[in-house]
Amino acid sequence: MTFKLREHDYIVTAYAEYAHGPGWANWPVWVVIKSRLDSTYRIECIQPEDQSAEILNIWQIANVVNKQFTEAVRHHMEPTRGKVLETKTKKKVRAR
């Protein structure tokens, strides 16, 4: 494993994302971690050789679900492109 959780960290979510290019391919798991100390986020990667049998067994399903979910969110957000949105905390953010 290339990273460790710190005492104040917790895993928010993890997702499988296939990546490839000419002559190479990879199937990492991306882990989104949040600190309880300062509410900062970081993303870490678990490479295939470091994945457990349990992760490897469901990796492909997770990848398909991630792609479909991401596309659904993209489709949902498309009408807001370029508009200023208000979040639940009343903080204004610009949609990309």
Beta-ladder partners of 31: 14, 44
Asked if pLDDT for residue 91 goes beyond 70, the answer is: no
Place 83 in a pLDDT band, splitting at 50, 70 and 90: confident
Work out the number of other CB atoms within 10 angstroms of the CB of residue 29. 21
> pTM for the full model?
0.76
Q: Which of 59, 64, 33 is nearest to 47 (CA)?
A: 59
N-terminal to C-terminal alpha carbon distance within the chain: 34
pLDDT, tens digit, for every residue of 32-70?
A: 999 999 999 999 999 999 999 999 999 999 999 999 999
